[in-house]
């Protein structure tokens, strides 16, 4: 049962009294209790969102931690920031060595939750903080009815259209797949290199794939939560992509199976792509270019007229490991970290989206963040990966490796999706 704030205060007071009693007893026996009086140091492994032109994430953590330590003298914070991917590797190494950090800010959590290594949010956070997360992000952070993944930053995907190329071709942004195909056809006739850049290469194919599956009324899982990669709707979606977009020569000179997200986004930044589906961080990349492309961002179209297509939402997570037993201190720190001013500063700096309702409302009401408003509006209804499944990491890797072959000239969507479904079912069974 979730503790109330009053119960927590009682428990904390009891814990403090017990600690004081033990400390006095140890001192009376001549035992060195200096380590108790020195307080607690929480160790944190975090992911860097910064680039050359944008400040490294270390500056964010340093600012938060300096403010926290000034008002909580008994708790020190030791943060180590690593590049994306490297942070998760470092956490895995520490866990394997039996010395996990107190907190990890990485892109997954389910494996550790399933292994029983993490505190649930209800053991850490005040009711106010816990209830402030956006509901769909809370759901995505939940395993067996307990939230173990605390969302940290989020993003959604929109369809970015090159306004110069669209204006020259007399086009408007598409609202259906058929309109997207027609627009791409006109752009192709105008000599645009990538009418629609379709990155199904191994870098991040799972995001592009999910966006198209949602547009076709499908997704990675069924309503029951079980994997459904080879559903009839998903097969139909990839058959359309193969025949109507890729087969028609409307996705550029690089085969989708070999086109990675980074290259696709760079093609748009360079003015070589008419359309691309991308997260909000693309705007940061555009702003840094020598000659920023003029663009319009709109919801990704769906297969049928009048049907709203959910956007793909992604988020990184904060997880709290139980190994060192610092639940009280971790909870105090997290309540501080999720204050609006720090959530807003983080999201605004990196052109990503806040994960709490109060910060979202504040940014939506402030014209300083108008460039994020469309993403904020889309986030509430965004669909996330089935990240709560311990099998998702391996399933995602297989999607990245193989999904592009489904749209090759000789590709077979039923065969490729069927093979992925069998592998997903096996991985789910193996994960328990």
Q: Above pLDDT 70, what percent of the chain?
A: 90
Structural tokens at position 281: 């961080």
Q: How distant, in Å, are the alpha carbons of 24, 46, 98, 100, 146 from that of 88?
A: 41, 9, 15, 11, 22
Segment 355-371, tens digit of pLDDT: 999 999 999 999 999 98
Q: Could you give the 3-state DSSP secondary structure of residue 36?
A: helix
Whole-number Å distance between alpha carbons of 277 and 38: 51
- Which DSSP symbol is given to 101? -
Q: What is the mean pLDDT of residues 90-109?
A: 96
Q: How do beta strands 194-197 and 142-143 pair?
A: unpaired
Tokens 């108008």: give the residue.
370
Position 149 scores a pLDDT of: 97
H or E stretch covering 92:
helix 86-96
Structural tokens at position 383: 């669909």
Position 54 scores a pLDDT of: 56
Q: Which DSSP string do the residues of 124-146 spell out, in sequence order? A: TS-HHHHHTB-HHHHHHTEETTE
Please report the beta strands in 194-301, taking only residues with DSSP state E, as ranges in sequence order.
Answer: 194-197, 273-279, 295-298
Position 17 scores a pLDDT of: 37
Residues 6+ positions from 409 with CB-CB distance below 8 Å: 247
Position 218 scores a pLDDT of: 96
* Burial of residue 137 (number of CB atoms within 10 Å: 0-12, 13-18, 19+): buried
Domain range 156-313+387-430, its CATH number among 3.40.190.10, 3.30.565.10, 3.20.20.100, 3.40.50.970: 3.40.190.10
For the cut 80, the answer to whether the pLDDT of residue 289 exceeds it is yes
Tell me, yes or no, if the two domains 26-155+314-384 and 156-313+387-430 fold the same way.
Answer: yes
Position 138 scores a pLDDT of: 96
Whole-number Å distance between alpha carbons of 253 and 195: 10
Whole-number Å distance between alpha carbons of 206 and 245: 19
Tokens 């943060």: give the residue.
79
Position 353 scores a pLDDT of: 95
Burial 339-368 (b: 16+ CB within 10 A, else e): bbebbbbbbbbbbbbbbbeebbebbeeeee
Residue 225 CB: number of other CB atoms within 10 A?
10
Tokens 């910060």: give the residue.
359
- In total, the chain counts a number of residues equal to 432
Categorize the per-residue pLDDT at 55 as very low, low, confident or very high, splitting at 50, 70 and 90: low
Return the CATH number of the domain spanning residue range 26-155+314-384. Answer: 3.40.190.10
Position 5 scores a pLDDT of: 42
Segment 375-393, tens digit of pLDDT: 999 898 899 999 999 999 9
**385 touches 391 (CB < 8 A):** no
Position 2 scores a pLDDT of: 35
Looking at the DSSP bridge assignments, the partners of residue 54 are 51
Helices (H), 257-411: 261-269, 281-288, 327-337, 340-350, 357-364, 373-379, 392-402
For the cut 60, the answer to whether the pLDDT of residue 20 exceeds it is no
Q: What angle do CA 397, 383, 342 make, to 5 degrees?
A: 95
**105 touches 90 (CB < 8 A):** no
- Which DSSP symbol is given to 294? P
Categorize the per-residue pLDDT at 88 as very low, low, confident or very high, splitting at 50, 70 and 90: very high
How do the domains of the chain map onto residue ranges? 26-155+314-384, 156-313+387-430
For the cut 60, the answer to whether the pLDDT of residue 29 exceeds it is no
* Closest by Cα among 213, 264, 208 to 234: 213
For the cut 70, the answer to whether the pLDDT of residue 3 exceeds it is no
Structural tokens at position 369: 């963040």
Whole-number Å distance between alpha carbons of 93 and 99: 9
Position 21 scores a pLDDT of: 37
Categorize the per-residue pLDDT at 56 as very low, low, confident or very high, splitting at 50, 70 and 90: confident
Position 38 scores a pLDDT of: 66
Lowest mean pLDDT among 260-264, 372-376, 398-402: 372-376
**309 touches 216 (CB < 8 A):** no
Residues 6+ positions from 201 with CB-CB distance below 8 Å: 256, 257, 258, 259, 260, 261, 263, 400, 404
Q: What is the mean pLDDT of residues 289-312?
A: 89
């Amino acid at each position: 049962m979730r503790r109330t704030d009053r119960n927590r205060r009682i428990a904390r007071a009891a814990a403090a009294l017990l600690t004081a009693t033990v400390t006095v007893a140890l001192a009376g026996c001549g035992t060195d209790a200096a380590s108790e009086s020195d307080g607690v140091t929480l160790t944190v492994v975090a992911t860097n969102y910064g680039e050359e032109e944008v400040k490294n994430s270390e500056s964010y953590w340093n600012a938060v931690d300096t403010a926290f330590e000034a008002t909580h003298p008994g708790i020190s914070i030791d943060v180590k920031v690593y590049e994306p991917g490297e942070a998760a590797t470092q956490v895995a190494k520490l866990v394997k060595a039996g010395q996990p950090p107190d907190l990890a800010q990485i892109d997954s959590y389910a494996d550790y939750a399933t292994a029983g290594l993490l505190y649930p949010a209800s053991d850490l956070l005040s009711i106010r903080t816990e209830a402030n997360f956006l509901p769909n992000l809370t759901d995505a952070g939940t395993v067996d009815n307990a939230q173990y993944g605390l969302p940290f930053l989020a993003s959604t995907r929109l369809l970015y259209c090159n306004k110069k190329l669209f204006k020259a071709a007399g086009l408007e942004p598409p609202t259906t797949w058929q309109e997207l195909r027609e627009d791409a056809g006109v752009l192709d006739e105008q000599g645009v290199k990538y009418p629609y850049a379709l990155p199904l290469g191994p870098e991040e194919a799972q995001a592009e794939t999910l966006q198209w599956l949602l547009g076709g009324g499908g997704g990675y899982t069924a309503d029951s939560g079980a994997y459904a990669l080879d559903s009839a709707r998903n097969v139909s979606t990839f058959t359309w992509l193969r025949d109507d977009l890729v087969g028609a020569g409307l996705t550029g000179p690089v085969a989708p199976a070999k086109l990675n997200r980074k290259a696709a986004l760079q093609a748009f930044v360079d003015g070589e792509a008419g359309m691309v589906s991308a997260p909000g961080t693309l705007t940061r990349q555009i702003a840094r270019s020598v000659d920023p492309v003029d663009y319009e961002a709109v919801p990704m179209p769906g297969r049928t007229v009048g049907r709203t297509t959910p956007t793909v939402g992604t988020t990184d997570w904060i997880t709290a490991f139980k190994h060192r037993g610092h639940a009280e201190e971790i909870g105090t720190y997290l309540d501080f970290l999720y204050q609006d001013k720090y959530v807003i500063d983080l999201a605004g700096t990196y052109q990503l989206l806040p994960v709490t309702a109060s910060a979202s409302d504040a940014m939506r009401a402030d014209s300083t963040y108008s460039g994020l408003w469309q993403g904020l509006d889309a986030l509430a209804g965004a669909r996330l990966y089935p990240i709560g499944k311990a099998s998702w990491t391996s399933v995602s890797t297989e999607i990245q490796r193989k999904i592009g072959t489904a749209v090759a000239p000789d590709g077979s969507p039923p065969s490729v999706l069927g093979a992925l479904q069998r592998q997903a079912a096996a991985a789910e069974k193996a994960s328990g």
